[in-house]
Structure 1
Amino acid sequence: MRVFVIAGEPSGDKLGAALMQGLRAVGPAELSFRGIGGPRMIEEGLDSLFDMDEISVMGISEILSQYRALKRRIRETAETVLREKPDVLVTIDLPEFSLRVAKLVKASSDIRVVHYVAPTVWAWRPGRAAKMAAHVDQVLALFPFEPPYMEAAGMRCDFVGHPVVTDPQAGPEDVAQFRAAHGLGDAPMMLVLPGSRRSEVTRLAPVFGEVVRIMAAERPDLRFVLPAAGPVAGLVQELVADWPGAPIVLDPRDTQGDAALIKRSAFAAADLALAASGTVSLELAAAGTPMVIAYDMNWISRQIIGRLLKVDTVTLVNLVSQTRAVPEFIGKDCLPGPIAQALLKVLDAPQDQARAMALTMDRLGLGGEAPGIRAARAVLDGMNGS
């Protein structure tokens, strides 16, 4: 069996590697993997056409500035797929690149195309599903509420579980070591997570900083910890320099210790978190950390997205659990006072979110078959025409 698989960013590399492991576990004995991927997929045996970073481009201006190079890579990738005629083409997220490759492949062949990670048509731009259906046979969905949207457009869609359910969690010893290492003792602790991109951090830091001032005044014993993403760790250090409460910035570039374990330990040790919108809400739920979500964007994006948005919450825990247990403050509502009041309520009554977080993890597949295995079974089943 020959599998051509495309991923263009770290999250896709993680999904791709797990899928490859799954195919080796439940697929035929003879397997080969060709395509585009990162270090995890290459470690699993992928023969990558070129460095994944070449297509890991986000944002309209960035895409436009590299348009010619991306267009050339799209054409080259599609030509390679058509020439090598794999049994299946699996594209993982990154629709700006992968779905364009799929479109070219389908225009000249009947190669089966599977797209891993359903587009958020339930939130905005529902027409994307119908456009995908012209050149995608099957979709692998991370969330249990997504298949009906894809099936309505004419594609097979399998819910295969979310990778967050397989992420390791810190234990009591890890938490104790983390608290001791940072002099936290048994003080209540709040995580501050302003995002992983410079634009997010720059925009949210002033608001989050004011929230910290309010929280420090209301709860003088509260400690603040910021697990920073590597690309923005230096920026975070600069922006929090004048925050009260001597916030602790966890810099993953620090070579002392396991950065991933330190982050997991921080999540498990925290009593609550203030976080930017995104998949971090699922990481917090996996760690059992109650949260408040806040996010803002530039004025133009706020106007456009506000008009297109089809749901009344963007927090994944709320969507998966079908509750509104996690308070969120988005766009014009991203204001320090209301955010701080919500955090104080969560700190005093954290159990209110516990059931929604547990339900979310259950619905995403915690305790069941690993998502990589489920994804592999779905791909094989689709190829068999089931």
Structure 2
Amino acid sequence: MRYFLIAGEASGDQLGAALMAGLRQLDADAQFDGIGGPAMTGLGLHSLFPMDELSIMGIWEVLPKYRHLKRRIAQTAQAVTAAAPDVLITIDSPDFGLRVAHLARAARPDLRTVHYVAPSVWAWRPGRARKMARVIDHVLAILPFEPPLMEAAGMTCDFVGHPVATADVAGPDEAQLFRNAHGIAPDAPVVLCLPGSRRGEVARLGPRFDEALMRLRDRVPEIRVVLPTVPGVAGLVRDMTRRWPTAPIVIEEAEEKRAAFAAADLALAASGTVSLELAANRIPMVIGYDMAPLSRLIVGVLLRTDTVTLVNLVSDTRAVPEFLGRACQPGPLAQALQQTLEEPSGRAAQLEAMDLTMERLGKGGEAPGLRAAASVIAAVRRPQ
């Protein structure tokens, strides 16, 4: 079969690559077109244009690029029509992918459509599921409580597991090699700084995270800060951190990132999938997030849950401290980091919540990419 896949950010690129690998395993004749990043292009996808053009978030962030994005949406929909795939698979990034699906469906009403990663209707804008059902047939959910919400909106949906639950994590030997390579003393706490994978996130959260870590260093002088990043924002991160008094160790390579996670004792992270990566590595964390003022105002009005941290949601706890919107300030972040680093009870509660989260996301089961591939093939073969 022929598959047209659209990913718009780093996490979607990883999901898309795992899905492509699964499809190749189940479909020897699989052919791929679409938009993707390094992971997907590494498996043979020729991306229509660079994926990082789509790595933006929030109403205020999108507005200056609206005309360009609109042209890219039309271009991508035309490419879908020209490729004549058996199925269009949009991966996360619904603001772009679903607009493409709408245009592609208008040109070809019988086109099968799948969306990978259900919209977070449990958090805000529940009407998005009903709107999505106008152009999407089937959903691949990565959180276990999502299928009933998608089915109620009129789509079929399978929980396929979350890739982070079955990802290979580095061990103590790799952690020690990382410490040795960067001259980190055996008793020095390693703190990860993770301000996001989008340029807007890094620009907004980076200075606040840096100030919080400076304050933590005043109280715990021996800490070493490590900032893993992704290619799309690596240049911005390096330029920004040259001015940071905390002087973090900036790393880009995937293997070094794995080792850094194994070596870490604590993390300050933006809200998002990274909290699950930290949970898989059993790294206690503090979550901070903010948006542009207009986006913050709108989301604040529409938010339907008291937490957006995935570890808290999946484990049904509130073990991970989070600071959102105006609360995302250096002082409270630094205080929470120090408490998380020094108070055993809080760390123990987080570790218990992390273990439960990984169990519920499919740890020990079949690889999510393969489960997702089987779900896609079954959906395409299902009578319309």
TM-score range, shorter chain: 0.7 to 0.9
Instruction: Return the TM-score normalized by structure 2.
Output: 0.88
Contact 1:197 1:232 in 2 (8 A): no
Letter matched to residue 25 of structure 2 = A
Q: Partner residue of 2:194?
A: 193
Contact 1:329 1:339 in 2 (8 A): yes
Relative distance call for 1:299 and 1:92 in structure 2 (3 A) is: closer
Q: Partner residue of 1:124?
A: 124
Secondary structure of the equivalent of 1:332? Answer: helix
Q: Partner residue of 2:301?
A: 307
The residue correspondences of 1:1-386 to structure 2 (distance < 5 A) are: 1-27=1-27, 29-46=28-45, 48=47, 50-53=48-51, 56=54, 58-59=56-57, 60=59, 63-107=62-106, 108-186=108-186, 187-229=188-230, 230-241=234-245, 243=246, 247-252=247-252, 259-347=253-341, 348-349=343-344, 350-385=347-382
Contact 2:288 2:322 in 1 (8 A): yes
Relative distance call for 1:239 and 1:123 in structure 2 (3 A) is: farther
Letter matched to residue 90 of structure 1 = I
Question: How far 1:67 sits from its partner (Å)?
Answer: 4.2
Instruction: Return the TM-score normalized by structure 1.
Output: 0.87
Question: How far 1:40 sits from its partner (Å)?
Answer: 3.3
Q: Partner residue of 1:256?
A: none
Q: Distance in 1 between matches of 2:229 and 2:36?
A: 25
Letter matched to residue 220 of structure 2 = R
Contact 2:11 2:273 in 1 (8 A): no
Q: Distance in 2 between matches of 1:26 and 1:117?
A: 21
Relative distance call for 1:72 and 1:273 in structure 2 (3 A) is: closer
Relative distance call for 1:225 and 1:47 in structure 2 (3 A) is: closer
Question: How far 1:134 sits from its partner (Å)?
Answer: 0.9
Question: How far 1:356 sits from its partner (Å)?
Answer: 0.7
Question: How far 1:80 sits from its partner (Å)?
Answer: 4.3
CA RMSD, Structure 1 to Structure 2 (Å)? 2.5
Q: Distance in 1 between matches of 2:43 and 2:21?
A: 7
Structure 1 unmatched runs, 5+: 253-258
Secondary structure of the equivalent of 1:123? Answer: coil
Secondary structure of the equivalent of 1:294? Answer: strand
Q: Distance in 2 between matches of 1:381 and 1:45?
A: 23
Secondary structure of the equivalent of 1:121? Answer: coil
Secondary structure of the equivalent of 2:143? Answer: coil
Letter matched to residue 285 of structure 2 = M
Contact 2:202 2:237 in 1 (8 A): no
Q: Distance in 2 between matches of 1:40 and 1:296?
A: 28
Secondary structure of the equivalent of 1:283? Answer: helix
Judge which range, 131-140 or 88-97, deviates more.
Answer: 88-97
Relative distance call for 1:308 and 1:84 in structure 2 (3 A) is: same
Letter matched to residue 3 of structure 2 = V
Secondary structure of the equivalent of 1:300? Answer: helix
Q: Distance in 2 between matches of 1:363 and 1:61?
A: 35
Contact 1:320 1:363 in 2 (8 A): yes
Q: Partner residue of 1:255?
A: none
Q: Distance in 2 between matches of 1:84 and 1:194?
A: 37
Secondary structure of the equivalent of 2:354? Answer: helix
Q: Distance in 1 between matches of 2:75 and 2:335?
A: 53
Contact 1:197 1:231 in 2 (8 A): no
Q: Distance in 1 between matches of 2:103 and 2:262?
A: 46
Question: How far 1:176 sits from its partner (Å)?
Answer: 0.8
Q: Distance in 2 between matches of 1:368 and 1:308?
A: 35
Q: Distance in 2 between matches of 1:170 and 1:4?
A: 33
Relative distance call for 1:238 and 1:139 in structure 2 (3 A) is: same
Relative distance call for 1:25 and 1:195 in structure 2 (3 A) is: closer
Q: Distance in 2 between matches of 1:341 and 1:192?
A: 15
Contact 2:195 2:270 in 1 (8 A): yes
Q: Distance in 1 between matches of 2:321 and 2:52?
A: 38
Q: Distance in 1 between matches of 2:216 and 2:52?
A: 43
Q: Distance in 2 between matches of 1:38 and 1:195?
A: 17
Identity level (%): 57
Deviations 1:279-315 (A, max 9, x none): 2211111111101112233433322211111110011
Deviations 1:61-116 (A, max 9, x none): 66445544443443343344345543222122222322122112333421211111
Deviations 1:202-240 (A, max 9, x none): 433443344334323333333333334413322342342
Letter matched to residue 156 of structure 2 = R
Deviations 1:25-69 (A, max 9, x none): 123x43322333344334434455x22438525244664455444
Judge which range, 196-205 or 184-193, deviates more.
Answer: 196-205
Secondary structure of the equivalent of 1:221? Answer: coil
Secondary structure of the equivalent of 1:359? Answer: helix
